[in-house]
Amino acid sequence: MKRRKVLRQNDNRPIGIFDSGVGGLTVVKELAGILPREDIVYYGDTARVPYGTKSSNTIVRFSIENALFLLKQNVKLIVVACNTSSSVALPALKRNFKVPIVGVIHPGACDAVKACRNSRIGVIGTTATIKSDAYSRQIKRISASMKVYSRGCPLLAPAIEESLDDDRLMTDIIRYYLDPLKKMRIDTLVLGCTHYPIIKGLIAKVLGRQTNLVDSAKSTSAHVKELLTQSMLLSSSRSKGRIKFFVSDETQNFKRIGERFLNKRIDHIRKVVYGI
Protein backbone atom coordinates (compact mmCIF):
# COMPACT_ATOMS: atom_id res chain seq x y z
CA MET A 1 0.00 0.00 0.00
CA LYS A 2 1.42 3.37 -1.04
CA ARG A 3 1.80 5.99 1.65
CA ARG A 4 -0.07 9.15 0.95
CA LYS A 5 2.29 12.04 0.25
CA VAL A 6 1.90 14.89 2.73
CA LEU A 7 2.20 18.33 1.16
CA ARG A 8 4.08 20.79 3.36
CA GLN A 9 3.01 24.35 3.91
CA ASN A 10 6.10 26.43 4.57
CA ASP A 11 5.75 30.01 3.38
CA ASN A 12 6.36 32.12 6.47
CA ARG A 13 6.22 35.47 4.71
CA PRO A 14 3.51 37.80 6.06
CA ILE A 15 0.12 38.56 4.58
CA GLY A 16 -0.13 42.21 3.47
CA ILE A 17 -3.33 44.20 4.00
CA PHE A 18 -4.03 47.80 3.04
CA ASP A 19 -6.92 50.19 3.47
CA SER A 20 -7.44 53.93 3.22
CA GLY A 21 -7.64 54.08 7.02
CA VAL A 22 -8.75 51.89 9.92
CA GLY A 23 -11.70 50.01 8.38
CA GLY A 24 -9.52 47.18 7.11
CA LEU A 25 -8.73 46.26 10.70
CA THR A 26 -11.98 44.29 10.71
CA VAL A 27 -10.29 42.08 8.08
CA VAL A 28 -7.16 41.86 10.25
CA LYS A 29 -9.28 40.72 13.19
CA GLU A 30 -11.03 38.02 11.16
CA LEU A 31 -7.80 36.80 9.54
CA ALA A 32 -5.96 36.62 12.85
CA GLY A 33 -8.85 34.57 14.19
CA ILE A 34 -8.90 31.92 11.46
CA LEU A 35 -5.16 32.00 10.64
CA PRO A 36 -3.55 32.61 14.07
CA ARG A 37 -0.04 31.56 12.98
CA GLU A 38 0.21 33.98 10.07
CA ASP A 39 2.18 37.21 10.36
CA ILE A 40 0.31 40.25 9.05
CA VAL A 41 1.52 43.65 7.81
CA TYR A 42 -1.19 46.30 7.80
CA TYR A 43 -0.90 49.64 6.04
CA GLY A 44 -3.49 52.37 6.60
CA ASP A 45 -3.22 55.35 4.25
CA THR A 46 -4.55 57.70 6.91
CA ALA A 47 -3.00 60.82 5.37
CA ARG A 48 -5.20 60.48 2.28
CA VAL A 49 -8.40 59.04 3.71
CA PRO A 50 -11.21 58.96 2.61
CA TYR A 51 -10.86 57.26 -0.76
CA GLY A 52 -14.62 57.20 -1.31
CA THR A 53 -14.73 60.80 -2.52
CA LYS A 54 -11.66 60.59 -4.81
CA SER A 55 -11.56 60.14 -8.60
CA SER A 56 -10.97 56.68 -10.10
CA ASN A 57 -7.51 57.65 -11.36
CA THR A 58 -6.50 58.87 -7.91
CA ILE A 59 -7.79 55.73 -6.20
CA VAL A 60 -5.81 53.55 -8.63
CA ARG A 61 -2.63 55.56 -8.04
CA PHE A 62 -2.98 55.42 -4.26
CA SER A 63 -3.72 51.69 -4.36
CA ILE A 64 -0.64 50.93 -6.47
CA GLU A 65 1.52 52.94 -4.06
CA ASN A 66 0.07 51.02 -1.12
CA ALA A 67 0.78 47.69 -2.82
CA LEU A 68 4.37 48.75 -3.55
CA PHE A 69 4.90 49.48 0.12
CA LEU A 70 3.56 46.08 1.16
CA LEU A 71 5.76 44.32 -1.40
CA LYS A 72 8.77 46.00 0.24
CA GLN A 73 7.71 44.15 3.40
CA ASN A 74 8.10 40.86 1.47
CA VAL A 75 4.43 39.87 1.68
CA LYS A 76 3.19 36.67 0.01
CA LEU A 77 -0.34 37.92 -0.68
CA ILE A 78 -2.07 41.30 -0.64
CA VAL A 79 -5.58 41.87 0.67
CA VAL A 80 -7.23 45.04 -0.60
CA ALA A 81 -9.32 45.60 2.51
CA CYS A 82 -10.80 48.82 1.16
CA ASN A 83 -14.09 48.37 -0.70
CA THR A 84 -13.44 51.54 -2.68
CA SER A 85 -10.02 50.32 -3.87
CA SER A 86 -11.40 46.84 -4.55
CA SER A 87 -14.22 48.23 -6.67
CA VAL A 88 -12.06 50.66 -8.65
CA ALA A 89 -8.39 49.57 -8.59
CA LEU A 90 -8.33 45.76 -8.38
CA PRO A 91 -7.91 45.12 -12.14
CA ALA A 92 -4.99 47.57 -12.31
CA LEU A 93 -3.35 45.99 -9.27
CA LYS A 94 -3.60 42.51 -10.75
CA ARG A 95 -2.14 43.75 -14.04
CA ASN A 96 0.81 45.39 -12.34
CA PHE A 97 1.82 42.79 -9.74
CA LYS A 98 2.45 39.03 -9.79
CA VAL A 99 1.74 38.42 -6.10
CA PRO A 100 -1.79 37.05 -5.39
CA ILE A 101 -4.17 39.95 -4.72
CA VAL A 102 -7.57 39.53 -3.06
CA GLY A 103 -10.28 42.18 -2.94
CA VAL A 104 -13.37 42.27 -0.76
CA ILE A 105 -15.99 42.51 -3.53
CA HIS A 106 -16.02 38.99 -5.00
CA PRO A 107 -16.06 37.07 -1.67
CA GLY A 108 -18.89 39.26 -0.36
CA ALA A 109 -20.87 38.88 -3.58
CA CYS A 110 -20.54 35.07 -3.47
CA ASP A 111 -21.75 34.87 0.12
CA ALA A 112 -24.65 37.22 -0.62
CA VAL A 113 -25.90 35.01 -3.46
CA LYS A 114 -25.60 31.92 -1.23
CA ALA A 115 -27.53 33.60 1.59
CA CYS A 116 -30.30 35.22 -0.47
CA ARG A 117 -33.71 33.50 -0.57
CA ASN A 118 -35.90 35.93 -2.52
CA SER A 119 -33.42 37.18 -5.17
CA ARG A 120 -33.40 40.70 -3.69
CA ILE A 121 -30.02 41.86 -2.33
CA GLY A 122 -29.13 45.22 -0.82
CA VAL A 123 -25.65 46.74 -0.81
CA ILE A 124 -24.41 49.66 1.29
CA GLY A 125 -21.01 51.34 0.98
CA THR A 126 -19.14 54.54 0.26
CA THR A 127 -20.19 56.81 -2.58
CA ALA A 128 -17.34 55.56 -4.79
CA THR A 129 -18.06 51.87 -4.10
CA ILE A 130 -21.74 52.26 -4.94
CA LYS A 131 -21.03 54.45 -7.97
CA SER A 132 -18.66 51.79 -9.36
CA ASP A 133 -21.53 49.25 -9.38
CA ALA A 134 -18.89 46.59 -8.59
CA TYR A 135 -21.04 44.55 -6.19
CA SER A 136 -24.03 44.55 -8.51
CA ARG A 137 -21.92 43.36 -11.45
CA GLN A 138 -20.29 40.61 -9.41
CA ILE A 139 -23.58 39.42 -7.95
CA LYS A 140 -25.27 39.27 -11.35
CA ARG A 141 -22.26 37.47 -12.82
CA ILE A 142 -22.78 34.76 -10.22
CA SER A 143 -26.57 34.72 -10.56
CA ALA A 144 -28.26 36.74 -13.29
CA SER A 145 -31.66 36.42 -11.61
CA MET A 146 -30.63 38.50 -8.60
CA LYS A 147 -31.98 42.03 -8.19
CA VAL A 148 -29.52 44.38 -6.49
CA TYR A 149 -30.47 47.59 -4.69
CA SER A 150 -27.54 49.81 -3.72
CA ARG A 151 -27.30 52.76 -1.35
CA GLY A 152 -24.35 55.06 -0.67
CA CYS A 153 -23.90 55.86 3.02
CA PRO A 154 -21.29 58.65 3.26
CA LEU A 155 -22.05 59.50 6.90
CA LEU A 156 -21.73 55.99 8.34
CA ALA A 157 -17.96 55.43 8.31
CA PRO A 158 -17.13 58.86 9.85
CA ALA A 159 -19.78 58.28 12.53
CA ILE A 160 -18.25 54.90 13.37
CA GLU A 161 -14.76 56.40 13.62
CA GLU A 162 -16.07 59.05 15.98
CA SER A 163 -17.07 56.18 18.28
CA LEU A 164 -20.57 57.54 18.81
CA ASP A 165 -21.83 56.23 22.15
CA ASP A 166 -25.37 57.38 21.47
CA ASP A 167 -26.99 54.30 19.94
CA ARG A 168 -30.14 56.28 19.19
CA LEU A 169 -28.26 58.76 17.03
CA MET A 170 -26.39 55.99 15.20
CA THR A 171 -29.65 54.10 14.75
CA ASP A 172 -31.25 57.21 13.22
CA ILE A 173 -28.40 57.44 10.69
CA ILE A 174 -28.75 53.74 9.86
CA ARG A 175 -32.52 54.05 9.43
CA TYR A 176 -32.06 57.04 7.11
CA TYR A 177 -29.94 54.93 4.78
CA LEU A 178 -31.65 51.56 5.14
CA ASP A 179 -35.35 52.44 5.08
CA PRO A 180 -35.38 52.74 1.24
CA LEU A 181 -33.77 49.28 1.00
CA LYS A 182 -36.31 47.80 3.43
CA LYS A 183 -39.06 49.05 1.11
CA MET A 184 -37.44 47.01 -1.69
CA ARG A 185 -38.06 43.87 0.43
CA ILE A 186 -34.41 42.78 0.45
CA ASP A 187 -33.67 39.67 2.50
CA THR A 188 -29.87 40.00 2.32
CA LEU A 189 -27.66 43.05 2.89
CA VAL A 190 -23.99 43.28 1.94
CA LEU A 191 -21.97 45.44 4.33
CA GLY A 192 -19.90 46.95 1.52
CA CYS A 193 -17.51 48.88 3.75
CA THR A 194 -15.11 47.30 6.25
CA HIS A 195 -16.19 49.83 8.90
CA TYR A 196 -19.73 48.50 8.99
CA PRO A 197 -19.17 45.22 10.93
CA ILE A 198 -18.53 47.41 13.99
CA ILE A 199 -22.23 48.38 13.98
CA LYS A 200 -23.58 45.08 12.68
CA GLY A 201 -25.74 44.64 15.76
CA LEU A 202 -27.50 47.98 15.25
CA ILE A 203 -27.98 47.29 11.54
CA ALA A 204 -29.56 43.93 12.38
CA LYS A 205 -31.98 45.62 14.79
CA VAL A 206 -33.07 48.10 12.12
CA LEU A 207 -33.56 45.47 9.42
CA GLY A 208 -34.90 42.67 11.61
CA ARG A 209 -33.79 39.09 12.15
CA GLN A 210 -35.20 37.93 8.83
CA THR A 211 -32.51 39.84 6.89
CA ASN A 212 -29.15 38.15 6.29
CA LEU A 213 -26.11 40.38 6.83
CA VAL A 214 -23.03 39.61 4.73
CA ASP A 215 -19.85 40.78 6.45
CA SER A 216 -17.25 41.29 3.71
CA ALA A 217 -14.41 41.06 6.26
CA LYS A 218 -15.47 37.52 7.18
CA SER A 219 -16.09 36.54 3.57
CA THR A 220 -12.70 37.85 2.47
CA SER A 221 -10.80 36.18 5.31
CA ALA A 222 -12.37 32.80 4.51
CA HIS A 223 -11.39 33.28 0.85
CA VAL A 224 -7.79 34.15 1.81
CA LYS A 225 -7.50 31.01 3.95
CA GLU A 226 -8.79 28.86 1.10
CA LEU A 227 -6.40 30.48 -1.40
CA LEU A 228 -3.35 30.10 0.85
CA THR A 229 -4.24 26.47 1.52
CA GLN A 230 -4.71 25.59 -2.15
CA SER A 231 -1.56 27.50 -3.19
CA MET A 232 0.63 25.89 -0.52
CA LEU A 233 1.37 29.28 1.03
CA LEU A 234 0.33 28.70 4.64
CA SER A 235 2.87 29.45 7.35
CA SER A 236 4.62 26.52 9.00
CA SER A 237 5.25 28.53 12.18
CA ARG A 238 4.06 27.00 15.45
CA SER A 239 4.01 30.33 17.27
CA LYS A 240 1.32 33.00 17.25
CA GLY A 241 1.54 35.37 14.30
CA ARG A 242 2.69 38.97 14.74
CA ILE A 243 0.92 42.02 13.36
CA LYS A 244 2.84 45.10 12.23
CA PHE A 245 0.98 48.37 11.74
CA PHE A 246 2.01 51.20 9.42
CA VAL A 247 0.17 54.46 8.71
CA SER A 248 0.86 57.49 6.53
CA ASP A 249 -0.20 60.09 9.12
CA GLU A 250 -0.07 60.56 12.89
CA THR A 251 -0.46 57.39 14.91
CA GLN A 252 -2.54 58.39 17.95
CA ASN A 253 -5.93 58.58 16.24
CA PHE A 254 -5.29 55.29 14.44
CA LYS A 255 -4.34 53.68 17.76
CA ARG A 256 -7.49 54.98 19.50
CA ILE A 257 -9.89 53.79 16.81
CA GLY A 258 -7.89 50.67 15.94
CA GLU A 259 -7.95 49.32 19.47
CA ARG A 260 -11.74 49.60 19.41
CA PHE A 261 -11.94 47.78 16.07
CA LEU A 262 -9.59 44.99 17.15
CA ASN A 263 -10.76 44.87 20.76
CA LYS A 264 -7.12 44.67 21.85
CA ARG A 265 -4.18 46.94 22.60
CA ILE A 266 -1.95 48.16 19.77
CA ASP A 267 1.58 48.73 21.09
CA HIS A 268 3.61 49.61 18.02
CA ILE A 269 2.56 51.69 15.01
CA ARG A 270 5.07 53.16 12.59
CA LYS A 271 4.43 56.25 10.50
CA VAL A 272 5.76 56.14 6.93
CA VAL A 273 5.53 58.74 4.17
CA TYR A 274 2.72 57.76 1.77
CA GLY A 275 3.76 54.15 2.01
CA ILE A 276 6.85 54.46 -0.20
- Work out whether the CA dihedral 22, 27, 32, 37 comes out positive or negative: negative
ω into residue 91 within 30 of 0, thus cis? no
For every residue of 91-147, which 3-state class applies, written as one string?
HHHHHHCCCCEEECHHHHHHHHHHHCCCCEEEEEECHHHHHHCHHHHHHHHHCCCCE
Concerning whether 193 is annotated as a catalytic residue, the answer is yes
Q: Hey, is 250 helix, strand or coil?
A: coil
Q: Quick check: is 116 catalytic?
A: no
- Point out the catalytic residue in the list 110, 116, 153, 193: 193
* Residue tagged active-site, from 82, 110, 116, 153: 82
**CB of 197 closer than 8 Å to CB of 26:** yes
List Cβ neighbours of 136 (8 Å cut-off, separation of 6 or more). 123, 148, 150
* Catalytic residue annotation: 82, 193
